[in-house]
Amino acid sequence: MTPSKTLLVVGGTSDIGRATALHYAQAGWRVQLAARNEEEACRNADDVRARTGTEVTVHRLDVLDTAAFGSFADSLSPLPDTVVCVVGELGDQVLGQSDLSHASLVLRTNFEGPALLLGFFAERFLVRGYGTIVGVSSVAGDRGRGSNYLYGAAKAGFTAFLSGLRNRLAPKDLRVVTVKPGFVRTQMTAGMKLPPVLTAEPDEVGQAIFTAAEKNGRDVIYVRPIWRPVMMVIGSIPERFFKRLRL
């Protein structure tokens, strides 16, 4: 079987990135994993290759190093059919309140880097005439909360960016998918107490991404459907009450 399509995962060392790569590979896709830490990405590449027999390559990329985007994209052979960006960094809200460089890192890692990179690929896809862009954003971007508004604000920006990009590319038949996973049991949330009903396994996120991007054509997904009403309720609380809540 010659796999016809290629997936690029940006954030190839993350649990969601690994699960996404595996779902695509099981469907016969070739996989490109991009990450800052190549050695860790190779661990995932070997794993995906061993499990599926598909071709997996590893590429070094730091999403904050915008100057390198061009040579990075040139090094990909072929230019992927779908790019999924799962890059994210929860950061430390309290630290970020006083340490501006940390705050800046959280904002840039969750918004600037992923947005600029996907925007960059959008231009390449436009030239080529096809391509699908998937951004993993967060329910934290739906409404700012005292406990993580740095992360939330960056994700809100990312969500808005994806929305705008989708609006612009829709007439050209290029798809943009926004994924809001909700809580996920990953390295990022290790040690947190998470409500089981609202918490997805990385595997569910990978499955949901594959289904939305390649099968059912949905634009904005919550991985666990329960998040949609939950966020609707949170979104509808009047600000004068909301501001008093400890969230």
Partner 1 sequence: MTELTGWGRYPRHRSEALRPASPKALPLLMASRTGLVARGNGRAYGDAAIGERVTLLATGLDRIQAFDPATGRVSVEAGVLLSDLLNVVVPHGFFLPVVPGTKFVTIGGMIASDVHGKNHHRDGGFGDHVEKLTLALPDGSTVACSREENPELLAATIGGMGLTGTILDATFRLRSIETGWMRQTTTVARNLDDAIRALQETSNATYSVAWVDCLARGAALGRSLIFAAEHATLRDLDALRPDAEPYPASKLGRLAVPLDLPSFTLNRLSVSAFNEFYFRAGAVKSGYPFLVHWDPYFFPLDGIGNWNRIYGRRGFLQYQCVVPTAQARSALGSILERVSKHGSASFLAVLKQLGPGHGNLSFPLEGFTLTLDLPVSDEAFPLLDELDRLVVEARGRLYLAKDARQSPATFEAGYPGLPRFRDQRRAIGATGRISSRLSVRLGI
Contacts with partner 1 by CB under 8 A lie at 39-40, 43-44, 46-47, 50-51, 53, 187, 190
Contacts of 51 (CB under 8 A, 6+ apart): 22, 25, 26
* Closer residue to partner 1 in complex, CB, 14/82: 14
Q: How far is the CB of 53 from partner 1 (least distance, A)?
A: 7
Distance CA 140, CA 124 (A): 30
Q: Which phi and psi angles does 215 have, rounded to 5°? A: -120, -65
Q: Which two tokens stand for residue 203?
A: 């595997």
Residue among 55 and 149 whose Cβ is closer to partner 1:
55
CB of 50 to partner 1, least distance (A): 4
Output the DSSP codes for 110-164. Answer: IIIHHHHHHHHHHHHHHHHT--EEEEE--GGGTS--TTSHHHHHHHHHHHHHHHH
Q: How far apart are CA 65 and CA 202, in angstroms?
A: 27
Q: In whole angstroms, what is the distance from residue 210 CA to residue 84 CA?
A: 10
Ramachandran category for residue 91: left, alpha or beta (phi over 0 → left; psi -120 to 50 → alpha): left
Q: Verify whether residue 130 is a known catalytic residue.
A: no
Nearer to partner 1, 39 or 239 (CB): 39
And the tokens for 137? 């954003």
Nearer Cβ to partner 1 (49/102) = 49
- Minimal distance in Å, beta carbon 202 to partner 1? 11
Q: How far is the CB of 191 from partner 1 (least distance, A)?
A: 9
Which of 39, 173 has the CB closer to partner 1? Answer: 39
Minimal distance, residue 190 CB to partner 1, in Å: 7
Given 24, 130, 151, 222, the catalytic residue: 151
Q: 219 with 177: CB under 8 angstroms?
A: yes
Point out the residues that are catalytic. 151
